[in-house]
Amino acid sequence: MQAPWLTEEDQARIGMYALLARLLAAPANQAQLDDLAQMAVDSSPDEEAAVALSLLRLAAQQARAQEVDDEYHKLFIGIGRGELVPYESWYQTGALMERPLSELRQDLARFGLEREPGNPDPEDHAAFLCETMAVLGSSHEVSEDAQRAFFRAHVGNWMPAFFRDLETCSSACFYKAVGHLGTVFMRLEKDYQRFDER
């Protein structure tokens, strides 16, 4: 997303949200894996983020598209249900399509956002929320306070636990690196958003 009015830090944050959204929305194909395998990792003010990106690059170099596809379906889809359930409602209430989804839809409507027609996933999917954070962060019309409120209400209160679960899932291979990147990024983002869990 090109947004020249943003600081370098904000552009990096938006890029990270967009990357996580793409990796969580569907299995990476071989072209995407090849791109990740050649990804340039600049020296970062946060060394942990640079290490996490380097680990993702290494995982992409070793991965094959069919294996990643199989892993994605085992983790997130499965027969009836995958090993992980990447939805805000599930992490907040233990069930799908619950109050957090209703509240999310109300908040999305305030920004004029909705899921694309034909997308069967409810809006509280981790990929959709990462994409939403990227869109809000790149918008001239959404204040930092509004972004911070959205993060607190729908991202920072459950997604760190989801990424930790993904990072430590015994069935994960390529997605273990995705989970680690998400864990590191959520920690940085909580500091940026001044998120307080107490």
CATH number, domain of 64, equals: 1.10.3480.10
Mean pLDDT, to the nearest integer, of 108-122?
A: 90
On the CB side of 19, CA atoms within 13 Å amount to 21
Mean pLDDT, to the nearest integer, of 82-89?
A: 96
Spatial separation of the C-alpha atoms in residues 113 and 52, rounded to whole Å: 31
Q: What is the pLDDT of residues 168-196, one digit of tens each?
A: 999 999 999 999 999 999 999 999 887 76
pTM (global) more than 0.75: yes
Q: Determine, yes or no, domain membership for 163.
A: yes
Nearest CA among 18, 32, 71 for reference residue 181: 18
Q: Determine, yes or no, domain membership for 2.
A: no
Spatial separation of the C-alpha atoms in residues 152 and 148, rounded to whole Å: 6
Per-residue model confidence (pLDDT) at position 198: 45
In total, how many domains does the chain have? 1
Per-residue model confidence (pLDDT) at position 183: 98
Spatial separation of the C-alpha atoms in residues 123 and 120, rounded to whole Å: 9
Q: Determine, yes or no, domain membership for 158.
A: yes
Q: Determine, yes or no, domain membership for 114.
A: yes
Give the range of the structural domain holding residue 55, as residue numbers without chain letter. 8-192
Per-residue model confidence (pLDDT) at position 3: 58
Q: Determine, yes or no, domain membership for 3.
A: no
Q: Determine, yes or no, domain membership for 198.
A: no
Mean pLDDT, to the nearest integer, of 12-29?
A: 96
Torsion sign across C-alpha atoms 120, 83, 166, 144: positive
Spatial separation of the C-alpha atoms in residues 76 and 118, rounded to whole Å: 19
Reading the block at residue 13, the tokens are 């944050």
